[in-house]
Amino acid sequence: MLPRAEIAHWLFAAGFLFFALVLLAEAIVGPDVFRRRPWRAHLWPSLLLFGGLWLWVIAIFSTFSTLHLLAHAVWAQAATAAGAVQLAVVRGRLVSSYWSLVIAAGLVVSGASFLIHEQNGWLFARSAFLHHTIGWTMVIAAIFPVGAAFRPRRSVWAYGFAAAWIAVSVMLFSDRDVAPIFGHLSELAGGVPVP
Amino acid sequence: MRRALLAALLVALVVPGVAAAHATLLRATPAEQGRVEVAPTEIRLAFDQSVTAPPDAIVVLAADGRRLSGTVSQSARGTVIQTPVDGLVRREAYTVRWREVSADGHVGTGVFTFGVGVDPPPPTEAVGASGMTWRDDVARWALFASLALLVGVVGIRLLVLPRTVDPRVERRVHLLGVLGAVAAVNAGIVGFVIRSANALQVSGVDLLYADLSPFAESTRFGTAFLVTTLGFGACLTILAVAWVLDRPGLRWPAFLLALALVWSYPLSGHQATEPNASLVGQVADWVHLVTAMLWVGGVLTLAVVVWPLAPDLRRTAFLRFSRIAIGLVAALVVAGTVVAIERLPAVSDLWETSYGQILLAKIALVLLALAWGGIHHTFVRPRLERGERTPGVGRSLLGESAVAMAVLLAAAVLVNGAPPPVESDAGEAAPTRTAPG
């Protein structure tokens, strides 16, 4: 019944990559040009909002530990909240640039959940290393929406936000249930003992 | 200071933590919640990583609490632990409680049952599992209160209030609906974890690393939890889209989905698990729940949405809700009576059993709420119809809402309680179930 974790990771990696490329395109051409066609403006907030729905699907497959169940539930709610708020900003229901702080909060909460739910150390295996790295990437990436809240005209925040999601998607694509990291795999995870 | 923070951040990122493992149970022999025809002589648990087995790593218990397992041993790689078992007989079910210490020091725990020649009971009925506690009651109450927002407030907006209302009313209904969906999904998760913890007999950090999958996959309440978690997540998304697009009509699919999801509670509670369970009882339970949510939601809508935000809407909203409230209360009482008759075989059970006594307390609270509503109907409604001022009604509605919340608390305690034994089809008194599986 339980799909392999890496299959879910790769599916989300593909989604995040598309999401990141949309963000990058908007950063390169600028919001004015990008949003000439209204549907484009709705694209990445909608991806985030409906990504939250998919995360509920993953959550109900994550009952093998309480911590995993709670972490996926947190991600689902963070994605839904961030997507809905950004969509409301795009449609003009919310006007203040400070609403991007919701995205920052979502990133911090999601990153913290990544760090807390990974029960192994950094070099235990590749998946553990990547969970730690993704967690810290998300926490640090929160600086970009915070910057956008206080200095909305500077494009560096948009580039940084897009780059962070590209990094997350690459890390998720590299994630496998049992695989070495830097040539090392813990014996406890099935690695060969060093003679 | 800034440089010090940056340096600390870099150190945290660069320095790897100690490589330590946390194990997950891959498979058990006999299988979790499995049925075998020949009594096993050994119980084996295979993990995805090496574990350390404490002396009580695997404990196998008969239904009467006798311990049947011996000394635990491990495979060479440490990923498999096993124990010999002796004295297992056919047509009996057994409980396996396991603990392992992962390399990261966390204690992983789990419990499951298996049957020899019989279907095993759900893990919630494992030997040593405790019954419901006040925590279960609080979680259930939170669930009912959140459903009053999701089903009640959203439903009353759709069914009672005019199509076009003040934008502030619309915003608050959006807020309460979304709040209800968020609360429903989280109360469901908390309730599921607490219920599992009762059977696992763990708490604190150990609970965070406990295996909940037998409860999710092999119990009725686990199935209900999975369905409602996904469903209320979908309700949340739909309500968020309705708010973003400013399309109140989009609340309809969320409302209808929530109504359907409420059906999972009769299907996972006493109405489905007791020996005399019937479809009529389940339908009555669903009607009872839905009408109660709409009634409580209606009072809440008047108290916290219409009265403080839209004086122009008070008369219309109150009169319209008054009209449907009579039908709601009638359906509520009839459905509740059907459920009570099914759960309480003798009238004396009402005062002789704790379940009956809680039901009496709930009925008393319902009567208080009905009387309060009756006063509104008798004295406030005519004044509103004549267009007269009605000072103090807002506060009175808040009071009625508080009583309604107390009714929901009593309902939560009742749902988690153990009804008196009922006659099974074979004519024997079936044992009381404290925790419908």
Of A50, A93, A190, the CB nearest to B237: A50
Q: Minimal CA–CA distance to B169: which of B291, B313, B9, B44? A: B313
Q: Which among A73, A62, A101 has a CA at the least distance from the CA of A85?
A: A101
Q: Say which DSSP state B18 is in.
A: P
* Phi-psi region at B33: left, alpha or beta (left = phi > 0; alpha = psi -120 to 50): left
Exposure on the CB side of residue B15, measured as CA atoms within 13 A: 8
Question: Are the beta carbons of A124 and B20 separated by less than 8 Å?
Answer: yes
Between A7 and B427, whose confidence is greater? Answer: A7
| CA distances to A57, B41, B224, B325, B354 from B268, in Å | 21, 35, 6, 28, 22
Contacts of B186 in chain A (CB under 8 A): 73
Is the CB of B168 inside 8 Å of chain A's CB atoms? no
pLDDT single digits (tens) B28-82: 999 999 999 999 999 999 988 788 888 889 999 999 999 999 899 988 778 899 9
Return d(Cα B366, Cα B359) in angstroms, integer: 10
Task: Provide the chain B residues 332-351 that lie in CB contact (below 8 A) with chain A.
Answer: none
Contact of A90 with A41, CB cutoff 8 Å: yes
Compute the residue count for chain A. Answer: 195
Q: Mutating which of B237, B250, B257 best tests the A interface, going by the most A Cβ atoms within 10 A?
A: B237
**3-state DSSP assignment of residue B163:** coil
In chain A, which residues have pLDDT < 70? 1-5, 177-178, 187-195
pTM of the entire predicted model: 0.85
Residue B129 C-alpha, separation from nearest chain A C-alpha, in angstroms? 18
Q: Is B106 on the interface with A (CB under 8 A)?
A: yes
The reply to whether omega before B30 is within 30° of 0 (cis) is yes
SS3 of B223-262: HHHHHHHHHHHHHHHHHHHHHHHCCHHHHHHHHHHHHHHH
SS3 call for B348? coil
Length of chain B: 437
**How high is the pLDDT of residue B24?**
81
Between B210, B237, B243, which is nearest A66 by CB? B210
Q: In this complex, which of B22, B210, B211 lies closest to A120 when CB atoms are compared?
A: B22
Give Cβ neighbours of residue B103 (< 8 Å, ≥ 6 apart): A188, B20, B21, B22, B23, B49, B50, B51, B52
Which residues of chain B neighbour A91 with C-beta distances below 8 Å? 244-246
Question: CA-CA distance, B263 to B257, in Å (whole number)?
Answer: 10
CB contacts, 8 Å: B195 with chain A: none
Best A42, A124, A133 member to test B by mutation, with max B CBs in 10 Å, is A124
Copy the structure tokens of residue A34: 């990008």
Element (H, E) at B109: strand B107-116
> With contacts defined as CB-CB under 8 Å, which chain A residues touch B240?
49, 80, 83-84
**Spatial separation of the C-alpha atoms in residues B134 and B197, rounded to whole Å:** 13
Query: Rounded CA gap, B338 and B189, in Å?
Result: 30
Strand partners, B44: B29, B82
Element (H, E) at B384: helix B381-385
pLDDT of amino acid A189: 64
Q: What is the Cα Rg of chain B in Å?
A: 26
- Residue with token string 């965070």: B208
Q: How far apart are CA A95 and CA B188, in angstroms?
A: 34
Judged by CB atoms closer than 8 Å, whether chains meet at A63 and B212 is answered as yes
Measured between alpha carbons, how far is B157 from B298 in angstroms, rounded to an integer?
A: 9
Q: CB-CB: which of A49, A60, A124 is closest to B240?
A: A49
- Residue pair A85/A107 in contact (Cβ under 8 Å)? The answer is no
Q: Which residues contact B250 (CB under 8 A, 6 or more apart)?
A: B238, B241, B242
- CB of A54 within 8 Å of a chain B CB? The answer is no
d(CA B39, CA B35) in angstroms, rounded, equals 10
Range from A10-24, B4-18, B82-96 carrying the lowest mean pLDDT: B4-18
- In terms of pLDDT, which residue wins out, B51 or B304? B304
Confidence of residue B13 (pLDDT cuts 50, 70, 90): very low
Best CA proximity match to A66, nearest among B212, B205, B101, B217 = B212
Q: How far apart are CA B413 and CA B148, in angstroms?
A: 17
Burial class (CB in 10 A: 0-12, 13-18, 19+), A32: exposed
Pair B198, B129: CB distance under 8 Å? yes
ipTM of the complex: 0.86
Higher-pLDDT residue of B264, A117: B264
The pLDDT value given to residue B8: 43
The answer to whether residues B125 and B113 touch, using CB atoms and an 8 Å cutoff, is yes
pLDDT tens for residues B198-207? 998 888 888 8
Angle at B36 between CA B33 and CA B42, to 5 degrees: 90
With CA atoms as reference, the chain B residue closest to A126 would be: B19
A65 to B186: CB separation less than 8 angstroms, yes or no = no
Q: Are A77 and B251 in contact (CB under 8 A)?
A: no
Instruction: Return the minimum-mean-pLDDT range out of A108-117, B178-187, B402-411.
Output: A108-117
Q: What does the alpha-carbon distance between residue A17 and residue B78 come to, in Å, rounded to a whole number?
A: 39
Is the confidence at residue B254, as pLDDT, over 80?
Answer: yes
Q: Tell me how close the Cα of A88 comes to any Cα of chain B, in angstroms.
A: 5
A116 — contact with chain B (CB < 8 Å)?
A: no
Q: Is the pLDDT of residue B21 over 60?
A: no
Residues β-bridged to residue B61: B67, B95
**Packing angle between helix B167-200 and helix B134-147, nearest 10 degrees?**
160
**Where does the pLDDT of residue B14 fall: very low under 50, low under 70, confident under 90, or very high at 90 and above?**
very low
Task: Kindly report, residue by residue over B95-121, the tens digit of the pLDDT.
Answer: 999 988 776 566 788 999 999 999 999
Is the pLDDT higher at B255 or at A124?
B255
Nearest to A65 among B24, B241, B244 (CB): B24
Q: Which fold has domain B25-121?
A: Immunoglobulin-like (2.60.40)
